[in-house]
Every structure is written in C-alpha cells, then in structure tokens.
Amino acid sequence: MIINLLNPIVTIPSLKSISDEEALEQYLLTQNVNYFNILYDRYTNKVYSKCVTMLKDIEMAEDATQEIFVKILLSLSKFSGKSKFSTWLYSVTYNFCIDIIRKEKKDITQTYGDYTKFEIEDDSAFDAEIMETNVYRLKDVMTELSAEDNGILLMKYQDELSIREISEVLNKTESAVKMKILRAKERFMKIYKTKYGESVA
C-alpha cells in the first residue's frame, strides 16, 4: 500500500511514439514505472533471444533477462547518451552473458579442431549466404558456436549494428572487431560444412 502511494501509476499519453531516450529521461525525472515499462516492452524479447542463443538454456535466459533489466535500472544514471540506448542495452546483455558463462566455467572461445578447415579472406564475404541459411540449420549451427561468436554474429546480422557500434559494445578497436567477425564467420562456415556436408554458399 505504502509502495503504491509512493509510486503512483500515472497514465502517460502517446506511449508508443516516445523515443527510448525520451522514455529514459522521463523515467529519471518522474520515477514513473510506466516509462521504464516502455523500454522493457520494446526490448525484453530481443534481450531474451540473445540470452537464449548465448547461454543455450531457456531458464537461465529468463533469469538473465530479469537481472539485465534490473542492472540497467540501477545504472541508468551512468548512461551517458553517447551511444543509442539499444546499443548500451546490447552491451550490458552481451557482457552479462559472457560473465555468467565465465562463472559457470563453460567455454567462451571454443577450439574447433575437429571441423573442416574454412578460411574467409574478405570480411564482408558470405554475408548474404550466412543470413539466408535455413533457420533451423542456423539454430543448429549456433548451438555449436561459442557464446562469444554467437554474440558477435547476432550483433552483426540480427541487430544490424555497424562495426563502430560493435566496437563500442565490445570495447575493442574497429579492426579488432572486423577480425572477430571474420573468425566467427569462418567457424560458422566450418561447423555448417561439417554438419551438412556442403558449404553455406
């Protein structure tokens, strides 16, 4: 009762038209839960799907989604606004999942010694082919990939982040990011070829 009195739920007009940054600003100003809920509703599924792909466990992904939003809530004042809210959220999600995997002592960077050798020379090569991979095969291959590779491929293809944005998320240089993408794609192609006996292309 006291909690409800201290945080009255006020109806906010035109919720859907408000930008992420405006919702954030209004939440910090008014502490009205509805503003935070706008951000939650917009991004919860994206965060959840990333967590499932990286953690490979539905229950862990649901818990992680909750914890990520609480973490976001507690560090909202630290958000500088230099990058987009979504980029910042993906950054928190990616790093949170990597931390969980480290704690669980699972492999973040796996070696793929048993897989067929596959090398790509150009960092933009095979983009279309990878994106057009049959969705069930895609899911299958991604369960074999490491969390780090999955995270990078999701940022590139699912969220369509630029190299600069990915470099902000990973806190690496753009050339390092290009190399990481290249390696992740190579490993994707290796696993695909080994599993299905044909290349993606």
Partner 1 sequence: MGQNNFKELEKILVESRSKNSDKTKQNINSNINFFGFVSNIIDLYLPKLGNVLTSFDSSSDNIKNKK
Any contact of residue 98 with partner 1 (CB under 8 A)? no
Residue nearer to partner 1 on the CB measure, 30 or 173: 30
Q: How many CA atoms lie within 13 A of 4 on its CB side?
A: 1
Any contact of residue 138 with partner 1 (CB under 8 A)? yes
Q: What is the dihedral of CA 85, 86, 87, 93, to 10 degrees?
A: 110
Window contacting partner 1 (CB under 8 A); options: 87-95, 108-116, 129-137, 164-172 = 129-137
- How far apart (Å, rounded) are the C-alpha atoms in residues 139 and 53? 8
Q: What is the secondary structure of 144-158 as a DSSP string?
A: HS-HHHHHHHIIIII
Tell me the two tokens of residue 149: 């590779």
Total residues at the site for partner 1 (CB under 8 A)? 38
Least distance CB 113 / partner 1 (angstroms):
27
Window contacting partner 1 (CB under 8 A); options: 44-52, 104-112, 178-186, 191-199 = 44-52
- Residue in 43, 54, 69, 200 binding partner 1, rule: CB under 8 A: 69
Look at the block and give the residue holding tokens 């799907």: 49
Q: What is the dihedral of CA 169, 117, 115, 60, to 10 degrees?
A: 10
- How far apart (Å, rounded) are the C-alpha atoms in residues 139 and 75? 33
Window contacting partner 1 (CB under 8 A); options: 36-44, 101-109, 113-121, 185-193 = 36-44
Question: What residue ranges bind partner 1 (CB under 8 A)?
Answer: 2-4, 6-7, 31, 33, 36-37, 40, 44-46, 48-49, 52-53, 58, 62, 65-66, 69-70, 73-74, 128, 131-135, 138-139, 142, 153-154, 157-158
